[in-house]
Every structure is written in C-alpha cells, then in structure tokens.
C-alpha cells in the first residue's frame, strides 16, 4: 500500500514538472536556443517516466524519477545563480515555485520508493 501511494505521488510530481516545462516552452521558451528544446525534452521525459513509475513495478523507474528531479533542480539552481545556457531566472513566478516543489517531490519520494517496493506474496 505504501509503495502504491509513493508511486502516485512520484508520478504526480513528474507530471507537474512536465506540465510546467511544457507551458513555459509553449509560452516563449521554445524560441530560446538550447534551453527551449530542453524544456520540451523535459516535458516528454516527465510523461514517459510517470507512466513507467505507475506501470512497471521495478526499481529503475523510481531511480529515473529521482534522477529526473535532481537533474531538473540542478539545472534550475544553475539558472538562478550563474545562469544556464544564457538563461538567468530569479525565482519569482508561480511556475518556478511549482517546478521546484514538484521536482523536489520527485527526488524525495522517488528515493523513498526505492526502499518501499511492493513485496510479492510467497
């Protein structure tokens, strides 16, 4: 039961992050060199990993979710500090807050899911 709840929370985090990146890509980031295509890749990857987390009861989707969240948070941290491929963010929009929350959820709950996997009846 705990593993299923964790799967749903991780998938929600992935889908939330994917949605933020898709909306930002659609609303103007698509025209930014390097970062624009990365936002679209992030949106698609979030959808694919969320499906894997829900449908494949293996440790790899949990690890992928954790890596997705950590990589996306790392890229965002670079963008608010030193810049990321010429993009400098300031952490002032709702999309930025939502992105950080959903990606942190991917990391925290993805890590938890690695340890709370379903046990098969013997």
pLDDT tens readout for residues 22-62: 998 998 878 787 878 888 999 999 999 999 999 998 899 99
First to last CA, the chain: 17
Q: pTM of the prediction?
A: 0.88
Confidence band of 84 (pLDDT split at 50, 70, 90): confident
d(CA 122, CA 12) in angstroms, rounded, equals 31
Q: Which residues contact 103 (CB under 8 A, 6 or more apart)?
A: 13, 17, 68, 69, 72, 73, 76
């Amino acid at each position: 039961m705990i593993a299923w709840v964790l799967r749903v929370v991780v998938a929600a985090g992935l889908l939330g992050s994917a949605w933020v990146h898709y909306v930002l890509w659609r609303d103007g980031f698509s025209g930014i060199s390097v970062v624009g295509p990365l936002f679209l890749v992030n949106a698609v990857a979030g959808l694919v990993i969320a499906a894997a987390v829900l449908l494949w009861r293996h440790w790899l989707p949990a690890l992928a979710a954790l890596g997705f969240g950590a990589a996306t948070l790392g890229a965002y941290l670079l963008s608010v500090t030193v810049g990321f491929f010429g993009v400098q963010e300031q952490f002032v929009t709702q999309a930025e807050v939502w992105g950080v929350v959903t990606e942190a959820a991917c990391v925290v709950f993805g890590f938890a899911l690695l340890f709370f996997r379903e046990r098969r009846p013997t």
